[in-house]
């Protein structure tokens, strides 16, 4: 099943994605890879992307992964971020690429939703510069909040 619609949905429903220039390179139910061009307007005082831009890139990839992994559940639940933890490992300069990976099987999360609980799941994100150097790591914990009927 093609998941090309996920990138389109993200660009249409989250205006920042298009404004920032996030591009979706890979979308699967377990992994999403996005890139962000180097724009002067995004830079901080040391010439790299502002921390908010770096965070936004990774959080966007994690959200796309939540959508791709749990698309069948969207009629009955809404994905929401619960918490995030970010680690800046090296000064990020130039264009960036992030890869978001689901840390537990989607079937486990869905089973918890089926059992009537509000499941949580974590998406780990790594951000690399154009040379492939790891610059940042982000863990985003999401929940599937059951929709009120």
Question: If you search the block for the tokens 């005082």, which residue do you land on?
Answer: 45
pLDDT at 13: 92
Q: What pTM was estimated for this model as a whole? A: 0.94
pLDDT at 2: 73
pLDDT at 17: 95
Tokens of 127: 């951000």
Tokens of 74: 């969207």
pLDDT at 1: 57
pLDDT at 67: 96
DSSP labels for the chain? Answer: ---HHHHHHHHHH-HHHHHHT-EEEEE-SSEEEEEE---GGGB-TTSSB-HHHHHHHHHHHHHHHHHHHTGGGTTTEEEEEEEEEEEE-S---SSEEEEEEESS-HHHHHHHHHTT---EEEEEEEEEETT--EEEEEEEEEEEEEPP-
Which residues in the chain come in under a pLDDT of 50? none
Q: Where are the domains of the chain?
A: 4-146
pLDDT at 148: 84
Question: Is-contact 85 124, C-beta < 8 A?
Answer: no
**Residue 115: other Cβ atoms inside 10 A:** 8
pLDDT at 77: 96
- CATH code for residues 4-146: 3.10.129.10
């Amino acid at each position: 099943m093609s998941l090309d619609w996920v990138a389109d949905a993200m660009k249409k429903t989250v205006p920042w994605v298009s404004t920032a220039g996030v591009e979706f390179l890979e979308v699967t139910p377990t992994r999403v890879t996005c890139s962000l061009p180097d724009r002067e307007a995004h830079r901080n005082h040391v010439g790299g992307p502002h921390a908010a831009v770096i965070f936004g890139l990774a959080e966007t990839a994690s959200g796309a992964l939540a959508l791709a992994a749990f698309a069948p559940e969207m009629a009955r639940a809404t994905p929401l971020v619960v918490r995030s933890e970010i680690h800046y490992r090296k000064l990020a300069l130039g264009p960036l690429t992030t890869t978001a990976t689901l840390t537990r099987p989607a079937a486990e999360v869905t089973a918890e939703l089926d059992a009537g609980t509000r499941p949580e799941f974590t998406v780990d994100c790594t951000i690399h510069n154009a040379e492939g150097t790891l610059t940042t790591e982000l863990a985003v914990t999401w929940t599937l909040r059951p929709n009120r009927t």
